[in-house]
């Protein structure tokens, strides 16, 4: 997840947004708000990681937001109405997510249907099923009893001392993996960055990890959603950058005809991407429902647009073939900072919608302009 020059404008825009909100509302940089921002970022970015898997081969998923509500609602009803243990309910919700999205992906590729149309229809279907599951009522997710694990998804914080221990482990792992990767590339005759550049990247990454632990430690510790995001991010990074399926996803999005001629298993690869998306939608649904404190008819609304915007802002091409995990994280951070800052400034909901729409249009416009130049 090395920093590249194409992410530099995104980082500058992020700093400008943070500086604006910090000047307008000093509480923006407060420990409590930054901890809440970390949780909000984790939920948005986790869903965006799944959207990255779908966008890389040139597809899209407009049903993700409705799926977030549906799968979170299924787990909530199983826990509160049917008194199923929370681990079993979450496991069943995860399984449902994988199966539903695998079936949807198989329908898209086998019947050669546009993913835009299929997932748009699924958006409506999932929304209707969601309302049926919760019976148009509010299903609370409160701590205590069997639901304790469910509510802990957004109420548990890793203590500061364990946070620092985790940071040391992460930095050590990054150092060893970077050195190993560098040795492998040199052994095969591939070009590598200079030692100074490699050290600078590791140093900046270590500083970012330490700063995150320091800031979150000022409130209660590292929020559990941040740890979940970290796990999902590492899995998606490993899949997209270091596995055969990741190379196939890039190949399909970059040139479908060439990928087909080269023998890439296109159907199996795209279906696998949708299966991964289903698992991530389920995890996001659990976190979003727990964060909201209840499963209501509005959970998940427009989250698919935030995920798409985060990806496109982060440099993911809507035509497929281009995108990085780091870019998606930066894009999600911009979206989370905008929403959090506007909330602190008591911006009316209608203006929030306008701002999100403008950001989405600008992101797609930039993607189109960059695509013409490429």
* Residue of 303, 334, 330 lying closest to 316 (CA atoms): 330
- Angle of CA points 92, 94, 95, to nearest 5°: 65
Residue 33 confidence (pLDDT): 93
Stretch (H or E) spanning 294: strand 294-295
On whether the CB atoms of residues 20 and 340 are closer than 8 A, the answer is no
127, 69 Cβ separation under 8 angstroms: yes
Helix (H) or strand (E) holding 96: helix 86-110
pTM, entire model? 0.91
Residue in the block written with tokens 């509302």: 25
Nearest of 225, 229, 228, 237 to residue 52 by alpha carbon: 237
Sequence-separated (6 or more) residues with CB below 8 Å from residue 48: 306, 307, 310, 311, 314, 328, 331, 332
pLDDT score recorded for residue 371: 57
Task: Find tokens 């911009």 and name the residue.
Answer: 334
Copy the structure tokens of residue 117.
């149309």
Query: Distance (Å, rounded) from C-alpha 340 to C-alpha 40?
Result: 8
pLDDT for position 367 = 67
Place of tokens 């427009």: 302
What is the per-residue pLDDT for 10?
79
Over the chain (374 residues), the average pLDDT of each successive run of 10 is: 59 87 91 92 96 96 96 93 90 96 96 95 96 92 67 89 93 88 81 81 87 90 94 94 91 90 92 97 96 92 92 89 90 92 91 86 73 52
If we measure between CA atoms, which residue out of 225, 227, 231, 253 comes closest to residue 53?
253
Phi, psi of 295, deg, nearest 5? -100, 110
**257-258-263-264 Cα dihedral, nearest 10 degrees:** -80
Residue boundaries of the structural domains of the chain: 5-159+221-373
Please list, in sequence order, all residues whose beta carbon lies within 8 angstroms of the beta carbon of residue 17, skipping any fewer than 6 positions away.
334, 337, 338, 341
CB 91 within 8 A of CB 273: no
pLDDT score at 14: 85
DSSP assignment of 130-184: HHHHTTTS-EE--SSGGGHHHHHHHH-EE-HHHHHHHHHHHHHHHHHHHHHHHHH
Architecture of domain 5-159+221-373: Orthogonal Bundle (1.10)
**Residue 255, phi-psi category: left (phi > 0), alpha (psi -120 to 50), beta (remainder):** beta
Query: What pLDDT is attached to residue 248?
Result: 94
CA separation for the pair 314, 325 (Å, rounded): 8
């Amino acid at each position: 997840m090395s920093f590249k020059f194409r992410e530099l404008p995104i980082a500058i825009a992020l700093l400008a947004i943070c500086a604006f909100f910090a000047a307008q509302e000093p509480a923006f940089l407060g420990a409590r708000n930054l901890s809440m921002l970390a949780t909000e970022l984790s939920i948005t970015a986790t869903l965006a990681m799944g959207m990255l898997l779908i966008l890389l081969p040139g597809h899209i998923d407009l049903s993700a937001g409705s799926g977030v509500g549906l799968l979170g609602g299924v787990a909530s009803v199983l826990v509160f109405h049917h008194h199923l243990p929370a681990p079993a309910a979450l496991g069943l919700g995860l399984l449902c997510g994988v199966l539903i999205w695998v079936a949807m992906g198989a329908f898209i590729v086998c019947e050669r249907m546009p993913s835009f149309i299929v997932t748009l229809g699924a958006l409506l279907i999932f929304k209707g099923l969601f309302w049926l599951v919760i019976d148009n009522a509010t299903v609370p997710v409160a701590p205590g009893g069997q639901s304790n694990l469910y509510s802990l998804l957004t109420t548990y914080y890793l203590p500061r001392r364990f946070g620092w221990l985790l940071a040391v482990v992460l930095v050590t792992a990054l150092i060893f993996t970077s050195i190993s990767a560098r040795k492998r590339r040199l052994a095969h005759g591939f070009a590598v960055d200079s030692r100074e550049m490699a050290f600078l990247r590791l140093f900046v990454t270590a500083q970012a990890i330490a700063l995150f632990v320091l800031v979150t430690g000022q409130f209660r510790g590292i929020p559990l959603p941040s740890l979940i995001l970290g796990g999902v991010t590492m899995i998606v990074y490993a899949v997209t950058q270091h596995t055969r399926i990741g190379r196939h996803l890039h190949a399909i999005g970059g040139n479908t005809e060439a990928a087909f001629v080269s023998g890439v298993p296109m159907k199996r690869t795209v279906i696998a991407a949708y299966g991964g998306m289903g698992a991530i939608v389920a995890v996001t649904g659990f976190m979003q429902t727990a964060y909201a404190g209840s499963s209501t008819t509005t959970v998940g609304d427009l989250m698919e647009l935030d995920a798409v915007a985060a990806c496109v802002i982060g440099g993911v091409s809507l035509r497929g073939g281009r995108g990085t995990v780091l870019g998606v994280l930066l894009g999600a951070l911009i979206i989370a900072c905008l929403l959090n800052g506007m909330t602190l400034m008591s911006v009316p909901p209608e203006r929030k919608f306008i701002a999100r729409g403008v950001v989405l249009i600008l992101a797609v416009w930039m993607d189109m302009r960059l695509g013409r130049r490429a």
